[in-house]
Amino acid sequence: MNRNLIVILSGIALLSACSNIPRRTTTGQPAIPAKPVAAAPTTGGGYLAGDGPGADAPSNLDGIPDAVPKAEPLHRYANRPYSALGKTYTPLQSTGSYKERGTASWYGKKFHGQRTSIGDTYDMYGMTAAHPTLPVPSYARVTNLANGKTVVVRVNDRGPFLHDRIIDLSYAAAYKLGYVNNGSAEVEVESIAVNGNAPVAAAVTMPVVKAESVAAETVMPVMPPDVAGKVYLQLGAFKEQQGAESFLSRMRAELGDTGKDIILLRSNDINRIQLGPYANSEEARRAANTLAGRLGFKPFVSQH
């Protein structure tokens, strides 16, 4: 999956081009334990350079069971409208009414162990997928149109957002469909209706919040007037607007339950994603300590 997300955390100024949301998913079914393959295939990697199957790929990938559809409540925040790479997406609010043909890609070791849009942990050897608009979590049947192979996956992440891909599959799912070495395939994706899926909380009535793409000549204020003099936590900083928008969408999905605003500020050609405001620096520091375990990194206090 084409995403080179560079997050500046805890005051470390590491800025470079970013292009997509980092992908993180969990398995609907655990992969069958097995001994590692002595020489796992290493060619391909979806369409993302540096990705691949990993060194400990199970020898029985064909035996990994498909995801088993079951009723699950939809994620409260990850089914709201969002923006990524300058485009707005409106997720579906029910299952069983979607069918589309297009290009599928896959993602592997580069994102193995990272968190998905709904907070699961991505297992590249599980039967999962990322989709821009299918409800999360939900289930889908994916068919490789070239060979007729079909798998059932649990959709628990957002993406892909580039190259007209319609779905990103886990390494295991792509392997079972027979397109791992090709990197992509033409597929048919059909959502699976499961009785008892709960509606999305709050009916998803909040407005779409979109960070405007900035052209070279666009002038943006250093900070919005209502931010001046307030205390925020900095979650990340990006040189490119695309990476900032992607990370903004990710953080709004993950931290929407904090009751704080998650904003994008642009100054000195740097796009900063911040959470707040807080009453004072001490309150912000306490929040940073709490969020550290949840996010996997510790935000730092930013006084405007």
Residue 79: CATH number of its domain: 2.40.40.10
Evaluate whether residue 240 is within a structural domain: yes
Last residue of a domain, one of 202, 231, 260: 202
Q: Does the pLDDT value for residue 15 go beyond 80? A: no
Last residue of a domain, one of 184, 202, 220: 202
* The pairing of beta strand 87-89 with beta strand 99-107: unpaired
Q: Judge whether 45 and 183 are in contact, CB under 8 Å.
A: yes
Lowest mean pLDDT, pick from 97-101, 207-211, 222-226, 296-300: 207-211
Last residue of a domain, one of 202, 220, 235: 202
Evaluate whether residue 46 is within a structural domain: no
C-alpha angle 216-221-222 in degrees, rounded to nearest 5: 105
Evaluate whether residue 230 is within a structural domain: yes
Look-up: residue for tokens 């059909």?
Answer: 190
Q: Does the pLDDT value for residue 119 go beyond 60? A: yes
The CATH number of whichever domain residue 252 belongs to comes to: 3.30.70.1070
Evaluate whether residue 8 is within a structural domain: no
Q: What is the pTM of this model?
A: 0.55
Q: Does the pLDDT value for residue 254 go beyond 90? A: no
pLDDT band at 51 (very low <50, low <70, confident <90, very high): low
Evaluate whether residue 28 is within a structural domain: no
pLDDT band at 4 (very low <50, low <70, confident <90, very high): very low
pLDDT band at 128 (very low <50, low <70, confident <90, very high): very high
Look-up: residue for tokens 């993950």?
Answer: 254
Residues 6+ apart with CB under 8 A from 205: none
Q: Which domain holds residue 298?
A: 211-303
Residues 193 and 223 in one domain: no
Residues 186 and 222 in one domain: no
Residues 153 and 235 in one domain: no
Evaluate whether residue 34 is within a structural domain: no
Residues 146 and 196 in one domain: yes
Evaluate whether residue 56 is within a structural domain: no
Mean pLDDT (the chain) is 75
* Packing angle of the helix pair 281-295, 241-255 (nearest 10 deg): 90
Q: What pLDDT shows up at residue 245? A: 80
Q: Does the pLDDT value for residue 75 go beyond 60? A: yes
Residues 194 and 65 in one domain: yes
Reply yes or no: is the peptide bond before residue 207 cis, omega within 30 of 0: no
Q: Does the pLDDT value for residue 195 go beyond 70? A: yes
- Tell me the β-bridge partners of 47: 45
Q: Does the pLDDT value for residue 247 go beyond 90? A: no
* Other CB atoms within 10 A of residue 227 CB: 18
- Tell me the β-bridge partners of 140: 153, 191
Residues 124 and 71 in one domain: yes
Q: What is the pLDDT of residues 79-105, one digit of tens each?
A: 988 888 778 889 998 877 899 999 999
Evaluate whether residue 274 is within a structural domain: yes
Q: What pLDDT shows up at residue 56? A: 72
Number of domains in the chain: 2
